[in-house]
A and B are shown apart, each in its own frame.
Chain A
Amino acid sequence: MTDLEKAEQLFDQAVKLPQEEREEYLNKTCGKDVDTKQIVMGMIKNFDEASRYFKSLKLSWSDDFDYTDSQLGSYKIQRLIGAGGMGKVYLGARNDGLYEQEVAVKILKVNSQYSAPIDNREQQILADLDHPGIAKIFNAGKTDSNQTYLVMELVEGIPIEKYVESEKLGFKEIGQLMLQIGKAVQHAHQNRVIHRDLKPSNILINKGGIPKLLDFGISVLDHHLEQENFQHIITPNYCAPEQIEGSKHINVTTDVYLLGVLFYKLITAKTPFELNSLNYEERKEKIKNTPPPSITTSINKNSLLIKDFDKIIARALSKKQKNRYQSVDAMMNEIEAALNVFPLRESKNNRTTLFQKFIKRNKVPVAISTIAIVLIGILSGIYISNLKQAQLTAEAKEQKAQETLAFLLDLFKQNDPTVNLGDSMSIGVLLGEGLKNAVQIKNPSTRAAVFATLGQVNISLGNYEKGESLLNDAISLYKELENDQAIGEVLFKKGLLKKRTADNTEALELFSRALELTDDRKEQIKLKIHQAEIFAIFNIDSAKILATSALNDMKEAELDRKEEILNLFNITEIGLGHLDKVQTDSVMNYKITLVDEFRSSYPEEKLILARFYSNLSLNYRWANKYDSALKYSDLNLDLLNTVYGKDNINTASGLLLMAETQGWSGNSDSAEYYALRSLNVKESLLGKNHPSQIDELGLIANSKIRDGSFEGGEEILSQAYELSRNTYGLYNQITGDRLFALLQHYNRMGKFEKSVTLYPDLIKVDSTTYGMTSNTATTYLDYAWALRSLDSTQKALKQSYRARSIYEKDIGKDHYLYGMALFNIGEYGMESMPEKALLYFDSAVNILKKKMPENHPRVGNYQHTYAEVLSDHHNDSLSNVHYVESINNYNINYAEDEPDRVATFQINYAKRLLDQNMKDSAQAVLMTASRLIEETEQNQIKNEIAVLLKSI
Chain B
Amino acid sequence: MKTNDITTILNQLDSSNPKVSEELYSILYKELKITAKSVRNRWNGNDTLNTTALVHETFLKIVPEDTSWQNRCHFFFIAGKAMRQILCNYAEKKNAQKRKASQATLDVEDFKDIIPLNDRTIIEILCLENLLKRLESEDALYGQVIECRFYGDMTIKETAEILKISEATVKRKWNFARAFLFKEIKAAS
Contact = CB atoms under 8 A, between A and B. Distances in A.
Interface of A: 2, 4-5, 7-8, 11-12, 15, 39, 42-44, 46-47, 49-51, 53-54, 57-58, 60-67, 69-72, 143-147
Interface in B84-135: 87, 114-118, 120-121, 124-125, 128, 135
B95 to A, nearest CB: 14
Contacts of B128: 57
Given A11-B176, A62-B52, A72 B46 contact: yes
Contacts of A146: 53
B157 interface: no
5 contacts: A7-B176, A7-B180, A44-B179, A53-B182, A64-B116
Contacts of B47: 144
B183 A46 contact: yes
A9 to B, nearest CB: 9
A54 B150 contact: yes
Interface of B: 43-44, 46-53, 87, 114-118, 120-121, 124-125, 128, 135, 138-139, 150, 172-173, 175-176, 178-183, 185-186
A142 to B, nearest CB: 11
Contacts of A61: 50-51, 87, 115-117, 121, 125
Contact of A4 (B44, B51, B125, B138): B138
Given A2-B138, A12-B175, A69-B43, A50 B181 contact: yes
Chain B interface, >50% SS class: helix
A43 B179 contact: yes
Contacts of A65: 48-50, 114
A5 B142 CA distance: 11
B150 A8 contact: no
A281 to B, nearest CB: 12
A71 B186 contact: no
A60 B43 contact: no
A58 B46 contact: no
A79 to B, nearest CB: 15
Among B47, B87, B175, the one with the most A-chain Cβ atoms within 10 Å of its Cβ is B175
Nearest to A12: B172
B50 A145 contact: yes
A11 B179 contact: yes
A39 B182 CA distance: 12
Contacts of A145: 48-50, 52-53
Nearest to B50: A62
Contact of A50 (B87, B117, B135, B178): B178
Contacts of A53: 178, 182, 185
Contacts of B139: 4-5
B46 A70 contact: yes
Contact of A144 (B44, B46, B87, B120): B46
B178 A51 contact: yes
B158 to A, nearest CB: 17
A70 B48 contact: yes
Nearest to B116: A64
Contacts of B138: 2, 4
Contacts of A63: 50
Contacts of A69: 43-44
5 A-B pairs with least C-beta separation = A50-B182, A43-B179, A62-B50, A145-B53, A60-B121
A51 B180 CA distance: 11
A8 B46 contact: no
Contact of A46 (B44, B46, B117, B182): B182
A50 B176 CA distance: 10
A58 B150 contact: yes
A42 B116 contact: no
Contacts of B183: 39, 42-43, 46, 50
A49 B185 CA distance: 12
Given A64-B116, A146-B53, 14 more contacts: A2-B138, A4-B139, A43-B183, A47-B179, A53-B185, A57-B124, A57-B125, A58-B150, A61-B121, A62-B50, A65-B48, A65-B114, A66-B116, A143-B48
Nearest to A53: B182
A70 B179 contact: no
B186 A46 contact: yes
Nearest to A40: B179
Contacts of A4: 135, 138-139
Contacts of B51: 58, 61-62
Among A44, A46, A65, A147, the one with the most B-chain Cβ atoms within 10 Å of its Cβ is A65
A325 B75 CA distance: 55
A409 to B, nearest CB: 57
Contacts of A57: 121, 124-125, 128
Nearest to B146: A54
Nearest to A47: B179
Nearest to B180: A43
A830 to B, nearest CB: 84
B90 to A, nearest CB: 9
Contacts of B182: 43, 46, 49-50, 53-54
A282 B79 CA distance: 38
Given A46-B183, A46-B186, A70 B43 contact: yes
Nearest to A62: B50
Contacts of B172: 8, 12
Nearest to B43: A69
A53 to B, nearest CB: 5
Contacts of A42: 183
A75 to B, nearest CB: 11
Among B50, B52, B179, the one with the most A-chain Cβ atoms within 10 Å of its Cβ is B179
A62 B49 CA distance: 8
Given A61-B121, A145-B53, A46 B179 contact: yes
A787 to B, nearest CB: 78
A489 to B, nearest CB: 49
A44 B125 CA distance: 23
B175 A144 contact: no
B179 A50 contact: yes
